[in-house]
Amino acid sequence: MDLLTAITSLSYRDSVLSIIGTGLLVHWIFKRTETHEPIYLAILLLGIPTIMTGALISHSATFLTAVISTFSIFWTTLSTSIIVYRLSPWHPLAQYPGPMICKITKFWFAFLSLKGRQHIYYTELHAKYGDVVRVGPNELSFRTPAAVAPLMGPAGLAKGPFWDGRVPEQEKVKPMIALRDKKEHTRRRRPWTRGFSSAALKGYEPLITARCQQLVEVLSNQVGAVDMSKWMGYFAFGGGSEMVREGADVDGLWELLNAGQVNAIFMSHVAWLGALFLRWPGFFAGKDLKAFRAHAQKCAIARKKRGTQAHKDLFHHLIDEDGVATNPPSVFEVVSDGGLAIIAGSDTTSSALSNLFYYLLTNPKTYQRVRAEIDELGDDVMDYGKQIHLSYLTAAINEALRLLPPVLSGSQRATETRSEPHAVGPYVVPEGTAAFVPFYVLHRDPRCFAPFPDSFIPERWLPAEKQIELEPGLFKDQSKVVTDVNSFLSFSTGPSNCVGKNLAWMEMRMLACLLLQKFDMRFEDGYNPKRWEEEMLDYFVMLKGRLPIVLTPRK
């Protein structure tokens, strides 16, 4: 007797039990594999219940009734089994607290993320549930300094499934930031390390100086308030664009980048769905990011053909034009990482600079102290060798990065399926579990930064004697002062930290020095500074509102 004959000969009771059994079997398969392949999903979710429809045909008035009944029983069983298991005491994460809806499905968080307020929601969750919160069926959020090294340090975990929903699984070469294989990530990072070495950075100084001077010249000709957030984006954008000169995003690149983030964050939270949708360009989600990546790849290809001009840029090292690499990067790797270079060098730097000027103008005393320190450089204001010794400017930048890190919700890691549990301090991350530290939340934890962790106080980054000299009321009692540099994660930490950190510091210092030396700054009349943080959106990439600032040339 073949399978189909056996199915169609079942009694009604046995037919229903068989359909229920297949639903439970599919749940077991999903739990073991978490497959993203469309063909397997189609077989498991559509093919199996279609076959099982034969069991109810002889017990139904019509074929359609049999189909509806079978699929209803199958999917109800599958859904119920998943929900019961995820809420049960047998689930590996049962010991960790969190909202019931988060334990049941990641769709809840995916929908919440569309509002762009993830960082605020994580703050609220940790305030309610404590240091470890179950934010998904198989995901934990850690608000404790003890989690930093075990998750992101040298012996930490690989990247999590977050990136599976943002980058097509079938893409020939994924960008370095999306690599989940630690060995492959280390190999791909080597050209970047050369590109951000001390010698390479020295060669970038003339390029950055010229770009800073170009921006100052253009801003000098603006009438009325300028949107500093927009102009910081123009300044930071790489890839051969001339946004500063044009005074506009003529190619609509920022619009493409920003427009794609809403769908991308949803797909990141439901990675299997994102991986499915990304297989069909332009379908439902991802078309804006695909268009942006296409532009970035075009720029990378053009740069490779053009070769190095007067100065060696980052692409000189990514392409290995010096021929120092034992295994030179393939053209696919160059093109893939080209997009990463443009995004990483624009969004994060522009966010950090915008936030710096916002905090300076909302804290006049700090603004005056920073500018006084910069003015001491005089004609050497663009000498980076002297800029790095501006301790108060450095403290102000650090404090802006602490309060509003460019990646607000942190970087996800994960244990592999069928791996050993991973210890995170007194906690355990079971196999197949994603985990992360939300940077925005940890940076405002009084165990890491005190006093007043929610306030902009650059002095906390200075030596104790300088703290007491400048702000005795805040720092006289040093027993209450905490500045935990190991919990400062604006550039992440460990093997997957921001490889371009030193270049970002160079850009931030050089532009801040020149702008603050050349201009007096104030908010546009009628602007409420509270809007800045209220309008800030967390889509992994930070989306910002207007920052209207009036610039007056200094005499």
Binding site, annotated residues: 498
Annotated binding-site ranges for heme: 498
For the chain, the first-to-last Cα distance in angstroms comes to 96
CB 121 within 8 A of CB 127: no
Q: In what order do the strands lie in the sheet with 158-159?
A: 132-136, 139-142, 434-436, 413-414, 158-159
Distances 231 to 172, 346, 355, 403, 526 between C-alpha atoms, Å? 35, 11, 13, 21, 20
Please write down the HEC assignment for all residues of 187-256: HHHHHHHHHCCHHHHHHHHHHHHHHHHHHHHHHHCCCCCEEHHHHHHHHHCCCCCCHHHHCCCCCCHHHH
Which residue in 422, 434, 447, 496 sits closest to 152, CA to CA?
Answer: 496
Q: For residues 373 and 338, give the distance between their C-alpha atoms in angstroms, rounded to a whole number.
A: 37
Q: Hey, which bits of 396-455 come out as E strands?
A: 413-414, 422-424, 427-429, 434-436, 449-450
| Residue that the structure tokens 């355990």 belong to | 428
Is the alpha carbon torsion for 521, 527, 530, 534 positive or negative?
Answer: negative
| Cβ neighbours around 281 below 10 Å, total | 12
513 bridge partner residues: none
Is the alpha carbon torsion for 185, 186, 192, 196 positive or negative?
Answer: positive
| Cβ neighbours around 112 below 10 Å, total | 16
159 bridge partner residues: 413
Residues 6+ positions from 4 with CB-CB distance below 8 Å: 51, 54
Is the alpha carbon torsion for 106, 111, 114, 117 positive or negative?
Answer: negative
At 330 the three-state DSSP class reads coil
Distances 124 to 143, 326, 539, 555 between C-alpha atoms, Å? 12, 50, 18, 47
Q: For residues 215 and 518, give the distance between their C-alpha atoms in angstroms, rounded to a whole number.
A: 11
CB 7 within 8 A of CB 51: yes
Q: For residues 254 and 347, give the distance between their C-alpha atoms in angstroms, rounded to a whole number.
A: 9
